[in-house]
Amino acid sequence: MSIDIKLPEGAPEEVITQALVRDVDLRAFGGQGTLALITLDNGHDHNRPNTFGPQSLQALDAAITEATSRKPTAIAITGKPFIFAAGADLSALSFISSREQSLAIGKLGHDVFRRLGESSIPTFAFINGLALGGGLEVGLHCNYRTLASTAFTGLPEVFLGLVPGWGGATILPKLIGPERAIQVIMLNALNNNTMMKSKDALKLGVVDAVFEPSDFLERSIAFAVGVLNKTAVVERKDYSNDPAWESALATGKAAALKKYGGAEIASPMRALELIAAARTNTVGQGFDAEDAALADLTMSDPLRASLYAFNVIQKKRKKVEGAPKPALARKVGKVGVVGAGLMASQLALLLLRNLKCPVVMTDIDQARADKGVVWVKSELAKLVEKKRMSAESAARLSLLISGSSDQSTFAGCDFIIEAIFEELSLKQDLFKKLEEIVSPECVLATNTSSLSVERMSEGLKNPERVVGFHFFNPVAVMPLLEVARTSKTDDATTATAISIGKELKKTMIICKDAPGFVVNRLLTRFMGEITDAVDEGTSVEVADNAMRSIGFPMSPFQLLDLVGPGVALHVSETLHTNLGERYRISPTMTAMVKEGVRNFYIKDSDGSVSINPAALALLHKGDSPSTAEQVRDRALTALAVEARMMLDEGVVSSAAEIDLCMLMGAGWPMHLGGILPYLDREGFSEAACSVRFHPKGVASLP
C-alpha cells in the first residue's frame, strides 16, 4: 500500500504500531511447513495499547506482504503481552478537516484488513489480550480466531458515536447471524459500552476457541495445525435466510430509542442500516457502505462531542484536577458509616468491598443497625451466587462488617461518612458528638446532596477534617463522586478523600462547597424550568417531550419519578433559600409531596405507561401555556446561565468538569459532550452569556 494520508496541522503525532514477522516451524506442533506470525507492538508497555493510525496500517500492510512472500502454510496475527489492539487511533479524528480524508482512512483500513480475509493462505487471529473496535475487526477478517481467557473484546463504536467501520458491521452479521450481531454491535455498546468476556465471545461465535494465557500462543498454534490438518473442524453457517433478521433489527432500534429518550441518533441508526444491508450486500459493497457511514459521522458535530466527552472521561479518571499531593493522604484502617438505611448500606458495601477493612454501621437502635448489616451480607451472598466473588472472599468480608446503636464503636475510625436525614441541625449535632469519640485526624465526611458542608463544621474543634463526599444512586453503579471542600478543609483531609475515592474506583471532581454542588444544582435548575412551564399551564405531555429530540436518556418527569418528588422538593427548597428566586418552589411538587403522590407516571395493566391520575389532579393549572420549542429554549438557556454562574463563582475550575459531571453523574449522552458543547453549538451560550464555554473546535467541526 502506498496511500499517504496527511492530517491537518495540529493533529497529534501517531504512535506507530509496528508489525513484526517471524516464522514458526509447525512440525513441532504436528503440522507441516511454517506459520508466518505477525506481532503487533507499539513499543510501549501495556499501559499504551496498540492502535491503528494510517502509518500503523501501512506497517501492517507491509508485514502481510512480507509474510505472504515467505510462502508459509498459514499466516497468523497476535499482539504484544496483554494487548492485541485497541482499534483505531481516535486522537486524530477530531482534527480531520474533510470528508475525503475520512473516506481515505476508512478505505485504507479496509484495504489492509481484507488482505487477511481474501488471502489464498489460511489466516488466523491469536487474540492474546484486549481487542476493541478495529482491534477486533482485524481479527474478524481472519479465517479463524482464538482468544485468551482473560481478554475482553467488543465493538464500542456506537457508544462513541461511530459505527464498526473496518468490516465489523458487514462481517459479523454474516459470521454469527443478525441477533448476535445486534447484541455485540448495538446492545453491548448502548449498555455503557459493555465488553465481552472470553466465554461470551465464544458462546456468540465471535471466536472459535479460548485458551488460558499461560500457554495461549502454543495452544493457538496447535489449534491452527488442527484446522490445517482437518482434525479440528470449525463450522460456519449461512445466515442470509435466517428468519430472525427483522426481529433482531427491531430489537436494536428499540434499544437505541430507549437509550436516547426516543430520539433517532445518527450512529446507532447508521449501524442498523449497515447490519440490515449485510444480509444481501457482498463484502465489497458492505465495506463501501461502511466507508461512507464512517465519513458522514466523522464530519458531524455529535461525533466531535462524543470524542471530546470520551477524552474528558479518560483524562479525569486518571487525574483529579486540583487534588493535593497523594502523599498527604492518611492511612485508613477502619471506617464508620452513620446510618443503616438503603443509601448508608450501599455505602457500607462499597467501602467494605474495596477497602477490605473493618466497617462499622450505626443507627438509632440496634434493630436498624442489624438490618443494615444483614443487607450488606445478603448482597455479598448474591455476588457469590452470580460468581462475581468467591465464597472465601465473601466470608472474610462478612467478618469485617458490624452494626451498633452505640456511636462509641467509631473509636479508632480513620474515616466516617454520614448518610442520615437531610437536616442541617441533625448533621451538626452528629459531628459534634463524633468529635468527642474519634481522633483529631479522623476524616468526617457527609453524603449530603445540597446542604452546606461548611455549616456542618461550625463549632467543631477541628473543622479542617470535614469534607463533602457526595455519591449518586445507585452507589455501586454511578461512577461520579463529588468531593466538596469547605474554606477550612485542609489538604490532608482532601487527599485522604481522593485516595478513598480512587480505591472505590470512582471518577471524581473537587468542587467548592456551594449549594447543590454541580449535578444537583444544574439538574434542579433544568427541572425547575420544566415544572414551571407545567405550573403555568403547559400540558405535561408537551413539557415532558420538549427535550426528546436532544436524546437525553429519560424525560424530565421520568427523572423526577426516579429521584422522587420528596427529594426533588427538598433540594429545590434548599437551593431556593441559598440561591434565590430562580429556583422557584413548584406548587405542583409541593402538593404531590403533601398528598403522598410519588410518581407522575404509572404502569397500566397492559404494560403501557400513562400519567398518574393522582398527579394530574394536583397540577397547578396556570393560564399561560408554552409550546414545546419555548419549553426547550427556556430550559437550555437556564442551563447556560447557571453553568456560567458556577464557573464565575469558582464552584469548579473548568467547563470540562461540568461536562464530566453531567456525563458521569446525570448520565447525559456522549453525543452532547456533557451539555456545554451542545449549548455552544446551538447558540445558547452566546445568547444567554455572550460567550462560549469552549473555544471553537473543542467539540465541533474545525
Per-residue model confidence as pLDDT tens digits over 584-613? 999 999 999 999 999 999 988 888 889 999
Strands, E assignment, 450-586: 466-470, 480-485, 507-512
511: pLDDT strictly greater than 90: yes
pLDDT of residue 461: 97
9: pLDDT strictly greater than 90: no
- For the chain, percent of residues with pLDDT exceeding 90: 87
Greater confidence (128 vs 702) lies with 128
Per-residue model confidence as pLDDT tens digits over 68-95? 999 999 999 999 999 999 999 988 887 8
Map out the domains of the chain with their CATH numbers.
18-299 (3.90.226.10), 326-512 (3.40.50.720), 519-650 (1.10.1040.50)
665 — pLDDT class (breaks 50, 70, 90): very high
Mean pLDDT computed over every residue of the chain: 94
Are the C-beta atoms of residues 59 and 17 closer than 8 Å to each other? yes
Which ranges constitute the DSSP H helices of 536-675? Answer: 540-545, 556-563, 565-579, 587-595, 613-617, 628-649, 655-664
702: pLDDT strictly greater than 60: no
Per-residue model confidence as pLDDT tens digits over 130-158? 999 999 999 999 999 999 999 999 999 99
- The whole-angstrom separation of Cα 240 and Cα 669 is 34
Q: Which three cell numbers stand for residue 642?
A: 447557571
CB-based contacts of 410: which residues, under 8 Å, 6+ apart?
336, 360, 362, 416, 434, 437, 438
Per-residue model confidence as pLDDT tens digits over 307-362? 999 989 989 988 999 999 999 999 999 999 999 999 999 999 999 999 999 999 99
- Rounded average pLDDT over 489-495: 98
pLDDT of residue 697: 61
Selection from 222, 275, 270 nearest residue 246 by Cα: 275
701: pLDDT strictly greater than 80: no
76 three-class SS: strand
Question: Quick one: 163 exposed, middle or buried, by C-beta within 10 A (0-12, 13-18, 19+)?
Answer: buried
pLDDT of residue 608: 84
pLDDT of residue 457: 97
pLDDT of residue 695: 80
Per-residue model confidence as pLDDT tens digits over 197-208? 999 999 999 999
Phi, psi of 145 (to 5 degrees): -140, 135
- The whole-angstrom separation of Cα 134 and Cα 117 is 14
- Rounded average pLDDT over 452-459: 96
3: pLDDT strictly greater than 80: no
Selection from 56, 35, 44, 197 nearest residue 131 by Cα: 197
Q: Which three cell numbers stand for residue 116?
A: 487477511
185: pLDDT strictly greater than 80: yes
Direct distance between the N- and C-terminal alpha carbons of the chain, in angstroms, rounded to an integer: 29
444: pLDDT strictly greater than 90: yes
> pTM of the full predicted structure?
0.90
